[in-house]
């Protein structure tokens, strides 16, 4: 069995609600009640106006690949057996960008393109642990 990917360390007040939501396969982001900006990654304040009045929302999980890179080899035990894998920035339809993996392709070098539509899938990390949001071709 492959090693588990590195996990966030808790307590962590800004991101812990995000990671808790992943256990229920919910990709959350924040919106500012003062200026309406979309905020991601999770924070205690708006990155546009500095307000601390943020709401948490759940993404529908649809977006497009902004850019990506294919990792051909990794010596970290959690990634060593993956073979080539894609690390990507995905622009979600709700207006935020997430760094993630694109999965569900035969050849990440040739099967992924910038602008390609993708949809959210989850990689569970173990009994009661977080789940990781990843994306596959839509």
Sequence ranges of the domains in the chain: 14-58, 60-138
For 60-138, the fitting CATH number among 3.30.530.20, 2.40.50.840, 1.10.1610.10, 3.40.190.10 is 2.40.50.840
Q: What is the pLDDT of residue 80?
A: 83
Q: Quickly state the pLDDT bin for 1 (edges 50, 70, 90).
A: very low
Q: Quickly state the pLDDT bin for 4 (edges 50, 70, 90).
A: confident
H-type alpha helices, 1-138 = 16-22, 108-111
Q: Quickly state the pLDDT bin for 3 (edges 50, 70, 90).
A: low
- Residues 83, 73: contact at Cβ < 8 Å? no
**Each residue's pLDDT tens digit, 78-113:** 888 888 999 999 999 999 999 999 999 999 999 999
CA dihedral 91, 21, 131, 28 (to 10 degrees): 0
Q: What is this structure's pTM?
A: 0.92
């Amino acid at each position: 069995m492959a090693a588990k990917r590195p996990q966030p360390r808790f307590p962590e007040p800004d991101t812990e609600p995000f990671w808790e939501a992943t256990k229920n396969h919910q990709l959350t982001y924040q919106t500012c009640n003062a200026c309406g900006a979309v905020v991601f990654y999770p924070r205690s304040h708006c990155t546009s106006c500095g307000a601390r009045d943020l709401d948490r929302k759940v993404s529908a999980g649809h977006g497009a690949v902004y850019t990506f890179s294919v990792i051909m080899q990794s010596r970290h035990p959690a990634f060593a057996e993956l073979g080539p894998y894609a690390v990507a920035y995905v622009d979600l339809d709700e207006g935020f960008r997430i760094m993630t993996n694109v999965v569900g392709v035969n050849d990440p070098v040739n099967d992924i393109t910038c602008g390609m539509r993708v949809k959210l899938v989850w990689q569970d990390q173990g009994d009661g642990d977080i789940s990781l949001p990843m994306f596959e071709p839509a």
